[in-house]
Structure 1
Amino acid sequence: MTDNWGFYERRAGNEQMRVLVNIGYKGTAPPADYSELLSVTVNLYPVRERSRNNKQVIVQLEELESKLEHWLKRTADAVYIGRINAATRLEFYYYLAGGKLSGETLRAWLDEQWPHRAQSYIKPDPEWEFYRFLLPDSLEELFVHNAQMIYALIHKGDKIAEPRNVYHWLLFRADEDRISMEALLQKQGYVIEKEKESQPEQEYPYPLVISKYEDVRLDTINARVRELHRLLDGRDGRYDGWGSAMKLSAANRFRRYMRRGKESAQSTLRRVFSRGQSQSNQNQPGKR
């Protein structure tokens, strides 16, 4: 099974959790023989107390995650299915084939490799119930998409903390629901974008485009999507995504301009070379 990782935020009571889950197993039956759930929980208090800054804490935890993953893969061919990051702890979860690894062996490795407090257990979970618990619900799936989009923007050089018009697309089954939603959203400070195009769908033929002037940091976008998802509750409509213009620094704009110029020149050269090859072939003896 190919790994396919999704990241989202989940609220459980008063606790905020950041979840990373391998959604590559979603919709499939649990792999044969992988009937045991392995958990390792790291207490973050002692790590922070002995580290000088947050960056150092992150480096230590990333090193532990990498070592644990490689050791479990090599030792027990374990399947890494996700982690939960909360304010006070970091939890790693794997599935094992029954009897592949003992709790004592895991405990000994942790004592040798990790200087701080960590708890661990191995227990039966043949139906992968905990994995189903980790999978995102409909709202959390939107958060997964948000994280992917914002990561792509950062990778392209977007200054995500800089405000801009952020557009959101909504779709409705009935026009009266769209009209009532327009009035509600205007009271909430949204701009109704009458001039923006939106493609209706057969089951949702009434689109609505709205906007807010704000940044596109993950916390901002997730809060906005959560709000719109809540406002849609009880109406026969659905949220259909968001988008915005990129905000690049001067250096990134210049690099993007140069890259496009280079790609255009390479494309032109390929066309010229292709035509030259074609003419050369036509001039060869025996060619018609």
Structure 2
Amino acid sequence: MTDNWGFYERRSASEHMRVLINIGYKGAYPLKDYAELLSITINLYPVRANNRTTRNFVKELEQLESKLEHWLSQTSDAIYIGRINAARRLEFYYFLDSSRFNDQELNDWLEHNWPYRAQVYRKPDPEWSFYTFMLPDALEELFIHNAQMIYALIHKGDDIGQPRNVYHWLLFREDVDRREIVPMLEKRGYVIEKEREGRTDQGYPYPLVVSRFEDVRLDTVNERVREIHGLIEGSGGRYDGWGSVMKLSTFNRMRRSVKRSLESVEAAVRRMLPRRDA
């Protein structure tokens, strides 16, 4: 099974959760030999209190996640399906073949590898109903795409905190629905990009491009996508993605400039040197 990890945020009436899930099992679950759900819950308060910086706090949790996944995979072939991070707790979830798992061995491992209390719980879940609960809905799938895009921008040197024109592509089944949504979007501060040609799709022949001038931090983009998705969901519309120009930080602009200069010098030197086969 190929891993395909997705990250998104889910809001309920009582809490705000950040969910990481392996979507790679979406087309194959449930796996009949893995009929038990294992959860390991970490109380975040003592962990946070024992770390002076957020960086160390996150690092300690990441190390636990990595070591725990490796140990459970090696000892019981457990399948790690993801985690849920709420304000007060962090929960790791696995599916098990109960015949290959030993509760006491896990408790002993936690005793030696984790200095804080951890709550361990497992129950039968042959239908993988909890995995179904964790799977993203249509809006949450957009959040996963947002996280992937922003990660790619950061990796390329984008300063995501810099404001820029951020474009959103919308599609509609009927032209009347597209025209009716325009004043609602303008009222919320969106600019209708009449000069930009949108992309059509089968069943959605009426595109609309809108923009706002703002940063592309994940929270900003998710909130904007949530707003637009909510507006057009009941109007025969479909959200089709967003994009923006890159805004490199000063350091990355200098680094790119130096790289281009070095490449130009290298190319000039190559032209000056005689060819070996001449």
TM-score (ref. length: structure 1): 0.88
Question: Residues 245-256 of structure 1: matches in 2 within 5 Å?
Answer: 245-256=245-256
CA distance in 2, matches of 1:50, 1:253: 38
Aligned mates of 2:111, 2:139 — CA distance in 1: 39
* Residue in 1 that maps onto 2:271: none
Q: Call closer, same or farther: CA 1:92–1:266 in 2, change over 3 Å.
A: farther
Q: Secondary structure at the match of 1:99?
A: helix
Which residue of structure 2 aligns with residue 145 of structure 1? 145
The SS at the match of 1:204 is coil
Matches of residues 220-239 of structure 1 in structure 2 within 5 Å?
220-239=220-239
The one-letter code of the counterpart of 1:62 is E
Q: Which residue of 2 aligns with 1:44?
A: 44
Structure 2: gaps spanning 5 or more residues: 268-274
- 2-side partners of 1:239 and 1:156: how far apart? 25
What is the alpha-carbon root mean square deviation over aligned residues? 2.3
Match of 1:7 in 2: 7
* In structure 2, distance between residues paired with 1:87 and 1:161: 24
The one-letter amino acid of 2:176's match is E
| Deviation of the 1:99 alpha carbon | 1.7
Identify the residue that residue 169 of structure 1 maps to in structure 2: 169
Distance (Å, rounded) in 1 between the aligned partners of 2:265 and 2:234: 54
Within-5 A mapping of 1:173-188: 173-188=173-188
Deviation for aligned residue 1:67: 1.2
Change (3 A) 1:266 1:93: farther
Equivalent residues of 1:3, 1:24 under 8 A apart: yes
User: In the TM superposition, what is the alpha-carbon distance from 1:233 to its structure 2 partner?
Assistant: 2.6
Give CA-to-partner distance per residue, 1:133-168, whole Å, 9 cap, x none: 111000000000000000000000000011000000
Q: Secondary structure at the match of 1:201?
A: coil
Change in 2 beyond 3 A, CA 1:46/1:153: same
The alignment-based identity, stated in percent, is: 64
How far apart are the structure 2 equivalents of 1:260 and 1:218?
A: 30
The aligned length equals 273
Distance 1:266 1:19 in 2: 47
List alignment gaps of at least 5 residues for structure 1.
268-275, 281-288
| Counterparts in 2 of 1:263 and 1:23: CA distance versus 1, 3 Å | farther
Cα distance in structure 1, aligned partners of 2:58 and 2:250: 30
Q: How far, CA to CA, are the matches of 1:161 and 1:146 in structure 2?
A: 15
The Cα of 1:258 is off from its aligned counterpart by 5.5
Helix, strand or coil: the match of 1:252? helix
Q: Could you list the per-position Cα deviations for residues 41-93 of structure 1 after superposition, in whole angstroms to 9, with x for gaps in the alignment? A: 00011111222222221111111111101110110011110001110000001
- Normalised by the length of structure 2, the TM-score is 0.92
Q: Residue deviations 1:182-241, cap 9 Å, x none?
A: 111111111000011212123000000000010000000000000001111320010000
Of 176-185 and 244-253, the range deviating more from structure 2: 244-253
Aligned runs of 1:19-98 on 2, under 5 Å?
A: 19-98=19-98
How far apart are the structure 1 equivalents of 2:262 and 2:80? Answer: 41
Structure index of larger Rg: 1
Report the AA paired with residue 160 of structure 1. Answer: I
AA in 1 matched with 2:80: Y
- For residues 154 and 77 of structure 1, the distance between their equivalents in structure 2, rounded to whole angstroms, comes to 35
- Classify the secondary structure of the residue corresponding to 2:169: strand
2:114 aligns with 114
90 and 233 in structure 1: CA distance in 2 versus 1, 3 angstrom threshold: same
Corresponding residue SS for 1:8: strand
Which of structure 1's runs of 4+ aligned residues deviate more than 6 A?
A: 260-267
Following the alignment from structure 1 to structure 2, what is the Cα–Cα distance between the partners of residues 263 and 125? 58
Taking the aligned partners of 1:250 and 1:33, their CA distance within structure 2 comes to: 54
Compute the displacement of 1:14 (Å): 2.6
User: What amino acid is aligned across from residue 39 of structure 2 in structure 1?
Assistant: S
Counterpart Cα distance in 2 of 1:158 and 1:214: 14
| Separation (CA, whole Å) in 1 of partners of 2:68 and 2:159 | 34
CA distance, structure 2, for counterparts of residue 26 and residue 56 of structure 1: 33
Which deviations, in whole Å up to 9, do the C-alpha atoms of 1:18-52 show, x marking residues without a partner? 00000001122323411111110000111112222
Contact 1:103 1:122 in 2 (8 A): no
Contact conserved, 1:158 with 1:249, CA < 8 A, in 2?
Answer: yes
Partner of 1:100: 100
Aligned residue for 2:218?
218
Q: Which residue of 2 aligns with 1:131?
A: 131
| Deviation (angstroms), 1:260 | 6.2
Give, in whole Å, the separation in 2 of the partners of 1:265 and 1:78: 54
Taking a change above 3 Å as real, the CA distance of residues 187 and 264 of structure 1, as seen in their structure-2 partners, is same
